[in-house]
Amino acid sequence: MQVKVHWIIDGMAHLEAESPEAAEKQVEALLQKLIADNPMLVDELGATAIQGKAYLPGSEEDNDADSA
């Protein structure tokens, strides 16, 4: 039987950086290494995209608390 599984990985990295853009680049580099070191993420699990957005603590976190 052919079965499709749509999966999502959600996470929150906390790191020191000069700017949100620099933080995004740090995380992007780590994720690229993770994918390169683990080809099964693409070959077997079908990963096609990873998306993220940096923000300063307190800016969007307050909005997240309102929707919970």
Q: Kindly tell me if the per-residue pLDDT of 17 is higher than 80.
A: yes
Q: Kindly tell me if the per-residue pLDDT of 68 is higher than 80.
A: no
Q: What is the pLDDT of residues 21-65, one digit of tens each?
A: 999 999 999 999 999 999 999 999 999 888 889 999 886 655 555
Please write down the HEC assignment for all residues of 1-68.
Answer: CCCCCCCCCCCCCCCCCCCHHHHHHHHHHHHHHHHHHCCHHHHCCCCCCCCCCCCCCCCCHHHHHHHC
